[in-house]
Amino acid sequence: MQSISAAKNAFLTSGYIVGVPLLGWLVYRNQTRMAEVLGVLTTMTGMGLLSMQGETLTIERGDALTLGCAAVYAVHIVLLGHFAPRIPYETLSFLQVAAAAAFAWVALPFVETPTIRWRPAVILAIVAGGLLATALAFVVQTWAQQYTTPTRAALIFALEPVFAWFGAWWWNGEILTGRAAAGAALILAGVLLVELKPNRKTAHP
């Protein structure tokens, strides 16, 4: 987030929505459908327009990290769709947050020197990021995915970049360039191609 705008980060992150049915195909061996192939190609084109800069088409560090984050999000949703109906959501939510906290604690000395200056902004960031955006979000998502499929959950998440872009515009005045806006539109189009394809009359695995 230090090297990428909030709106751009949100649209690139939304690529994980396309990754969910693809991972489902790898896990469940479902036949790939034309809408899914077109959706992936459209989304990849949009990501290219949004992230590749200049004549050399280089990808900035923040963009590359965001794309990697999107891939991990897709794995998370597929795994959560598998375990949510089998494990009480309170236990599963706690295990997810505890595992992430433990990993961060172990990795911290290798990444940066731990320092903290207690200020109102720091406390607000801890409350908003730790309690609302992490703990509460994991609890609600884990509870909700007991009653829906990973693909349907991913479709709901498709609204995330729209809300994020609106928030970035309203809060920070962020404006997407014409090229970036075209890329963002293609990403959303790819997501909708994958998620709104006609349903087959077979139960979700």
What are the residue boundaries of the structural domains of the chain, listed by start? Answer: 1-84+148-199, 89-144
CA angle 129, 135, 139 (to 5 degrees): 140
Q: What is the pLDDT of residue 103?
A: 93
Q: What is the pLDDT of residue 154?
A: 67
- Residue 165 near residue 119, CB atoms below 8 Å: no
pLDDT in tens, 140-174: 888 887 787 766 776 777 777 778 888 888 888 87
Residues 159 and 173: their CA atoms lie apart, in Å, by 20
- Residue 81 near residue 145, CB atoms below 8 Å: yes
The DSSP symbol for 176 reads -
Residues 46 and 156: their CA atoms lie apart, in Å, by 20
This prediction has a pTM of 0.67
Report the residue count for the chain.
Answer: 205
Q: Which residues of the chain have pLDDT under 70?
A: 29-32, 53-58, 150-151, 154, 195, 197-205
CB neighbours (10 Å) of residue 181? Answer: 16
Q: What is the pLDDT of residue 199?
A: 56
114 CB burial (10 A radius; 0-12, 13-18, 19+): exposed
Q: What is the pLDDT of residue 124?
A: 92
Q: What is the pLDDT of residue 197?
A: 66
Q: What is the pLDDT of residue 56?
A: 55
